[in-house]
Amino acid sequence: MDDHSLKVLDYFHLLNTLKELSTSSLGRNRCEALRPRSDLSAIQTRLAEVLEFKEILETLGDPPLYGIKEVGGILKRLEVEGSSLTIQELIDILDHIELCRRLRRFFRKAEAIRIPHLQEKISKLSSLKILEREILQAIDKKGEILDRASPALSEIRDRLREFREKAKKMLEHLLRREDLQPIFQESLITLRNGRYVLPIKADAEHRLEGIIHDHSQSRMTYFLEPFSLIGLNNEINILVAEEREEEYRILADLSEKVRKERLNLWVDVELLGELDLLSAMARLSILLKGVRPFLNEEGRVDMKEARNPILALQDQNRVVPIHLRMGDGKKVLILSGANAGGKTVALKTFGLLTLMAQSGLPIPVAEGSQVSIFQDVFAVIGDEQNIEENLSTFSSHLLHVDQILKKSNSQSLVLLDELGVGTHASEG
């Protein structure tokens, strides 16, 4: 479809409203990308999906779509062999798996409702129970790698706890010695450069043998590692390095397991984005009191009590419904009347409702309305002065009309406004 025509018919304005009704970046991206189709079968399917989702919202309430994680970036990283995920990225994958499970559980409650299209989509969501269990075995939602992640990690941490406890007891013994009480700035144990140290007064650095690792900003306090503690601190640092190495190995192992499931996860990403889009479309349909029109490919249009969706979103009660008919051998519809009589609004309503229907959106019309499917929709509407090319409004219109004449055919809908006397809408 022609982007210029979509713009003047307020289609992008409608998409902005649709985006606000989505719950995730996946859904918003799909709302932005939504365009009218010309394939009747595809349009019918999309309309059916939206109406099924509308039925869900009106009977069961909101599906658990909030909290969709954008894991596409994570999956792209995994395309590089040997790449490893962070703890947070693994938690995002875990949240994704749990969300898919909640959605399957929610839609199982809808067995009494006939929603074949949605059930087919939900059935394609992956059930990665083994991967979920393996991630939960190794990390928790706080972002910590658990001792049980591997026997080696558990053993390293047990030894670390043992050596740290010995180091603290040794330092506590020094802090309690009466002959050393005057040299300590505070009776506490602290860490500097990964080593246990004691804070001593600056003028007492030679009262206790050891290594100075740091000092306070005022230089009133030095942080000293007693010689007697060097061996323990060395052991602790060696174990910390082993712990870090084992944690990295665990993350690499989990990343490899996620990598093996990335195709299933990509399918999930596409389905979740699609479900969020359908949810937004269904919500918009509820706001507009939209219905499913009869569709045809023969140019027959019979929009009963049609309401402009942009105006309806502002105030349903103040919108004046119109009735638009075309077809059955008539290929041209002419709207005429006094200025400010609503001709342009009627024309834009005709065009926008056609675009909505071809996008698979129920439209604000009366039941029994008909909409034709067109291969293209072109529009020249309103005061579109081309300042950049210094063209008058009329010259700008003629430029657009010339482009339309080159692109349109018998399967096109062409809407022309304010050319000559009156306002015209024509198909052909």
Residue bearing tokens 């939504």? 34
Q: Left (φ > 0), alpha (ψ -120 to 50) or beta: where does 408 sit?
A: beta
Which of these, 194, 295, 199, 288, lies nearest to 239 by C-alpha position?
194
Question: Across residues 211-232, what is the average pLDDT?
Answer: 91
Q: Quick check: 151 and 223 in contact, CB under 8 A?
A: no
Q: What band does 388 get if pLDDT is binned at 50, 70 and 90?
A: very low
Which of these, 18, 14, 6, 15, lies nearest to 282 by C-alpha position?
18
Confidence (pTM):
0.84
Of 163-172, 180-189, 408-417, where does mean pLDDT reach its minimum? 408-417
pLDDT tops 90 at residue 38: yes
Pairing of strands 294-296, 195-201: unpaired
- For residue 298 the two structure tokens come to 């023969």
Of 84-93, 221-230, 375-384, where does mean pLDDT reach its minimum? 375-384
Q: What band does 174 get if pLDDT is binned at 50, 70 and 90?
A: very high
Can you say whether the dihedral through the CA atoms of 390, 393, 395, 397 is positive or negative?
positive
Report how far Cα 258 is from the mean position of its chain's Cα atoms.
21
Which of these, 349, 281, 289, lies nearest to 11 by C-alpha position?
349
Q: What band does 407 get if pLDDT is binned at 50, 70 and 90?
A: low
pLDDT tops 60 at residue 400: yes
The pLDDT of residue 345:
87
Which of these, 42, 49, 35, 26, lies nearest to 6 by C-alpha position?
35
- For residue 31 the two structure tokens come to 């709302």
Of 8-12, 32-36, 85-89, 412-416, where does mean pLDDT reach its minimum? 412-416
3-state secondary structure the chain: CCHHHHHHCCHHHHHHHHHHCCCCHHHHHHHHHCCCCCCHHHHHHHHHHHHHHHHHHHHCCCCCCCCCCCCHHHHHHCCCCCCCCCHHHHHHHHHHHHHHHHHHHHHHCCCCCCCHHHHHHHHCCCCCHHHHHHHHHHECCCCCECHHHCHHHHHHHHHHHHHHHHHHHHHHHHHHCHHHHHHECCCCCEEECCEEEEEEEHHHCCCCCEEEEEECCCCCEEEEEEHHHHHHHHHHHHHHHHHHHHHHHHHHHHHHHHHHCHHHHHHHHHHHHHHHHHHHHHHHHHHHCCECCEEECCCCEEEEEECCHHHHHHCHHHCCCEEEEEECCECEEEECCCCCCCHHHHHHHHHHHHHHHHCCCCECCCCCCEEECCCEEEEECCCCCCCCCCCCHHHHHHHHHHHHHHHCCCCEEEEECCCCCCEEEEEC
pLDDT tops 50 at residue 422: no
- The alpha carbons of the chain give a radius of gyration, in whole angstroms, of 34
Q: What band does 396 get if pLDDT is binned at 50, 70 and 90?
A: low
Question: Across residues 10-28, what is the average pLDDT?
Answer: 96
State the helix-helix crossing angle for 262-288 and 116-123, rounded to 10 degrees. 150
CA 44/CA 361 separation, integer angstroms? 10
CA 344/CA 328 separation, integer angstroms? 24
144 against 414, higher pLDDT: 144
Torsion of CA 131, 133, 134, 138, to 10 degrees: 140
340 against 152, higher pLDDT: 152
Burial of 165 from C-beta contacts in 10 A (0-12 / 13-18 / 19+)? exposed
Question: Across residues 335-354, what is the average pLDDT?
Answer: 80
For the beta carbon of residue 61, count every other beta carbon within 10 angstroms. 8
CA 56/CA 328 separation, integer angstroms? 37
